[in-house]
Amino acid sequence: MKQPHQPGSEPDGHSVASPGRRAFFTRAAGVTAGLIGLAVAVPGRAHASPAAPAAGTAQSDWWFCQKCYTMFFHGYADNGRCPAGGAHSPQGYNFILPYGGAATPTAQSYWRFCPKCYSMHFEYYGPGPCPAGGGHIEQGFVFVLPHDIPATLTSQSDWRFCQKCFVMFFYGYADNGHCAAGGAHSAQGFDFVLPHA
Ligand SMILES: [Zn+2]
Ligand SMILES: [Zn+2]
Ligand SMILES: [Zn+2]
């Protein structure tokens, strides 16, 4: 079911495939850490840095877009750029997504905010196509997202990686929304179970 070289493929569930990649990433995060206070203007969280996040922390204001089915950050006034046209449109739950800490067999790292389209996207393979043009870029927290655990009253399953545009999208409807790479999103890898209010 799971294909090789995709985010859900590591048999042990860890997202870090090579020590070299981890070393590079750590350096890159350190370089950009100084920008985070401005880049992610969430009140009370400007002290946080992706290079040294506190364990057990999470960010709210992540929402499902009812137009494209992408998980996007609703904490800014303009709601980013939607591949279905215009800005994303929030619906349903206010998701509270954990960041910082290490990946585990049931939590995958390398999920990031894109400041161009506001999507939650997986940056491990490099930039997927962004609906705002070019590729996604990563900014702010490094999210570590739970997968393949039971859903609860305060968590929702059926969130998946799109292997075409690299965003997190909701796979619970038949049509799979709109993808920045054209057509609908295409699910691959883990079944993410994301906490919400
Ligand atoms: Zn959208
Ligand atoms: Zn983007
Ligand atoms: Zn997609």
Q: What are 129-157's pLDDT values in tens digits?
A: 999 999 999 999 999 999 999 999 999 99
pLDDT in the model for residue 4: 37
CA distance 87 to 22: 34
Structure confidence by residue, pLDDT tens digits, 166-189: 999 999 999 999 999 999 999 999
| Residue 112 CA, ligand 2 centroid: distance in Å | 10
21 CA distance to ligand 3 middle (Å): 24
The domain in which residue 82 lies consists of: 77-197
Q: Is 16 a member of any domain?
A: no
Query: Which residues, including other chains, have CB under 8 Å from residue 20's CB and lie 6 or more apart?
Result: none
Is 84 within a domain? Answer: yes
In a domain, 196, yes or no: yes
Number of domains in the chain: 1
Return the bridge partners of 43, or none.
none
Retrieve residue 176's tokens. 């799979």
Residue 11 has pLDDT above 70, yes or no: no
Residue 19 alpha carbon to ligand 1 centre in Å: 35
Rounded Cα–Cα distance for residues 15 and 13 (Å): 6
Task: Determine the pLDDT at residue 29.
Answer: 39
CA of 175 to the centre of ligand 3 (A): 12
Identify whether 68 is part of a domain.
no
Distance 188 CA to ligand 3 centre (A): 10
Q: Is residue 39 part of a domain?
A: no
Residues around the ion ligand 2 (C-beta < 5 A) = 114, 116-117, 130, 136
Task: Pick 25 or 120 by higher pLDDT.
Answer: 120
Dihedral sign of CA atoms 170, 171, 174, 178 in order: positive
- Distance between Cα 182 and ligand 3 center (Å): 8
Instruction: Please report whether residue 114 resides in a domain.
Output: yes
The residues, ordered by sequence, that sit 6+ positions from 40 with a Cβ below 8 Å of its Cβ are: 46, 113, 139, 140, 141
pLDDT in tens, 13-70: 333 333 333 333 333 333 333 333 333 333 333 333 444 444 559 999 999 999 999 9
Q: Judge whether 194 lies within some domain.
A: yes
Residue-level pLDDT at 101: 87
Tell me the CA–centroid distance for residue 145 and ligand 3, in Å: 18
- Nearest ligand to the C-alpha of residue 168? 3
Ligand number with the minimum distance to the CA of 86:
1
Which ligand number lies closest to the CA of residue 123? 2
- Using CB atoms within 10 A of its CB, is residue 51 exposed (0-12), middle (13-18) or buried (19+)? middle
Establish if 107 belongs to a structural domain: yes
Q: Rounded to the nearest whole angstrom, what is the distance from the C-alpha of residue 47 to the centroid of ligand 3?
A: 32
Q: What does the pLDDT read at residue 10?
A: 37
- Separation of CA 181 and ligand 1 centre (Å): 13
